[in-house]
Structure 1
Amino acid sequence: MFWKNWSSDRIGVGLAILAAFGFSFKAILIKLAYTAPGAAPVGPVTLLSLRMLLSLPAFVWLGITSSRAAPPLTRRDWGMLVVLGLLGYYGASLFDFLGLQYVSAGLERLILFTYPTLTILIGVFFMGKRLERREIAALLLSYVGIGLAFVHDLEFSGDMQKVIVGSLLVFGSSVTYSLYLSGSGPMISRLGSTRFTALVMIVSTLAAAFHSLVSQPLSAYDLPASIYGYVIAIVVFSTVLPMFMQSASIRRIGIARSVLIGTLGPVLTIFFGWWILGEPMSLAQAAGTAMVLFGVFMVSRK
């Protein structure tokens, strides 16, 4: 029995590490798609809609299998799914894809990682919760760390306007995702995490596809094979597989440990940004990363 539990624990940790690896590589693949040599520039709306549409079959299948023998959805359930779908994997992803045109993959990942602290602030301002001293310290650490990473990008980019615009867009992504998380708790309790995630992803995909259809011609999808290769890699290795692995990890080791292991993500993104994209590294960036990760650790632990 001890061996069985120990083996399950190791599998859970391994799955959490692989999920962090997959999610961290998303920004790298998006940047590669934006700068693919010999290809016409691909826009963020096109890239997002392709990512969602190619992921759709997996989530339709997941939605069907998880809805068997489940109670029917009420009108209020559908309303909440639409709102959360627009906030979550459509709205947050759109801001993220837009921001990655202007900032480094490392800064993008660090700003996105402020969502635990933003979720706390949403609870304070809109749900009547009180800040603890530990949470105040975590907030200060996280945002000073973001400031250091911002200065790093500004120093090596030399274009203040681009870095500011990109940072604000990615921060908008983090805010939107935090709102999604704040509203998803009751729905997950009612529908279950698998069914809820599948239905929210379907709503998000429809929103992304509609946005693409009304904002650009179909010729926007006339892209070289290299771009579609990056999109397929984003779908398989940075969307579908990490989501399944993270879910399986949470079932084995719990959400707290899974989230803490996920703090590997920004470190991996910065490393791959330096190794693959040639993004510079600096002491300020390293210090900022450490502060953000420690801040997330402080608000994630019991």
Structure 2
Amino acid sequence: MQTNKQFWYGILIGVLGIVLFSSKAVMVKLAYNYKVDAISILLLRMLFSFPFYIVIAFIYRNQESVDKPNSKDYLWLLFFGFVGYYLASYFDFVGLIYIKASLERIILFLYPTIVLILNRLFLKQPITKNQAFAIGLTYLGIVIAFSNEVTISGKDTYLGGFFILLSAITYASYLVGSGWLIPKFGIMKFTAYAMIISCICVFIHYSMISKVNLFSFSWEVYTLGFLIAVFATVIPSFLVSASIKMISSSNFAIVAGIGPISTIILAAIFLNERLTLLQLFGALVVILGILLVSLKKTDKC
């Protein structure tokens, strides 16, 4: 049974994971200043992440879960590893070539509603009035915060937006799969296995299409690749998995509303994007929506 303390703890680590994930867009945009392409920076992200997940998978290889996975579950794990952190990441990195980090977040933030819809369609989970109202409130905050940012300026913006939308759909699919596969594998094993699969997919992709010399980048690119790997991939991937287990993928999707706001702040600091009073007001509205879902009634042991 879930306690109020566990629910709040799940929200806290979920927010931390989302903020760390949000830093990825800013660091990728910084890396693009050094003339690196999307698949190369994605490769560096996965290359630096890979050893961590191998070690974690080895440590937790004998960990038993309540519901043991069957062969079909392993096939689903392959699928969600391919979709979640490979396709979603690749689409996101390509989209960031064409649009700003702040605009990327407002489009990517479509995935909470996609999660709820997928849960309703495939897992028969109802969308509660509390969830619907919280989503509406957080979307209102996003619209306010990005009112000065959502301007279409040429075909490249549409192209970038399309790739980010694909990223939102594929990431939402991963979150839904995580919700029912994590109890079968355990948090650490599922996350490590899914990320190893994603890393291998990126390695194959790079070897097949890229002609760029992996050792030809400046030290700044390697540094950013390492930071993206550790602080925007490895650490938050486990935080997000733990949060989903504690509060459900639907509630996590709403808590993830903090992502666009943290991106605005980070982009203002590191990319010199303007942070207006209107955006700060939008941030407060989003936080209010997150608090609303945080006050959801929970069962007590």
TM-score with structure 1 setting the length: 0.78
RMSD value, Cα: 3.6
- AA of the residue aligned to 1:24: S
Once the 2 structures are TM-superposed, how far is the Cα of residue 247 of structure 1 from its aligned partner? Answer: 6.1
Q: Give the number of equivalent residue pairs.
A: 287
Report the AA paired with residue 94 of structure 2: L
Which has the larger displacement, 233-242 or 68-77? 68-77
2:183 maps to 1:208: no
- Once the two structures are superposed, what CA deviation does each residue of 1:110-154 show, in whole Å capped at 9, x if it has no partner? 333343322111233444454444444444445555555665224
Pairing of 1:3-14 with structure 2 (within 5 A): none
193-202 or 13-22, larger mean C-alpha shift: 13-22
- Partner of 1:153, secondary structure, is coil
- Which of 43, 48, 51 in structure 2 is aligned with 1:57? 51
Structure 1 residues 12 and 185: CA distance shift in structure 2, 3 A: closer
Judging by fraction of residues, say which structure has more helix: 1
Map of 1:62-81 to 2, 5 A cutoff? 62-68=56-62, 70=64, 74-81=70-77
Query: Retained in 1: the 8 A contact 2:102–2:149?
Result: no
2-side partners of 1:20 and 1:211: how far apart? Answer: 27
| SS of equivalent residue, structure 2 residue 148 | helix
Distance 2:138 2:40 in 1: 32
Report whether the alignment pairs 1:171 with 2:165: yes
Query: Paired residue for 1:33?
Result: 31
- 1:105 aligns with 101
1:186 matches 2:180: yes
Describe the shift of the 1:143–1:266 C-alpha distance in structure 2 as closer, same or farther (beyond 3 A). Answer: closer
Contact 1:22 / 1:238 at 8 angstroms: preserved in 2?
A: yes
The change in CA–CA distance for 1:82 and 1:16 in structure 2 (over 3 A counts) is closer
Name the residue aligned to 1:23: 21
Q: Unpaired segments of 5 or more residues in structure 1? A: 1-5
Distance in 1 between residues matched to 2:231 and 2:292, nearest whole Å: 29
AA at the equivalent of 1:241: I
Quote the offset at 1:81 in angstroms: 1.2
Alignment-derived partner of residue 92 in structure 1 = 88
Rounded to whole Å, the distance in 1 between the matches of 2:236 and 2:109 is 16
Q: Which residue of 1 aligns with 2:270?
A: 276
Match of 1:243 among 237, 254, 258: 237
Change (3 A) 1:132 1:240: closer
Residues 134 and 160 (structure 1 numbering): CA distance in 2 closer, same or farther, change over 3 Å? farther
- Identity over aligned pairs, percent: 33
Cα distance in 2 for partners of 1:204, 1:162 equals 27
Normalising by the residue count of structure 2, what TM-score does the alignment of the two structures yield?
Answer: 0.79
- Contact between 2:42 and 2:90, CA under 8 Å: does it hold in 1? yes
Tell me, which stretches of 5 or more residues in structure 2 are unaligned?
A: 297-301
Q: Which moved more, 1:163-172 or 1:134-143?
A: 134-143
- Which stretch of structure 1 is more off in the superposition, 215-224 or 49-58? 215-224
Distance 2:93 2:225 in 1: 13
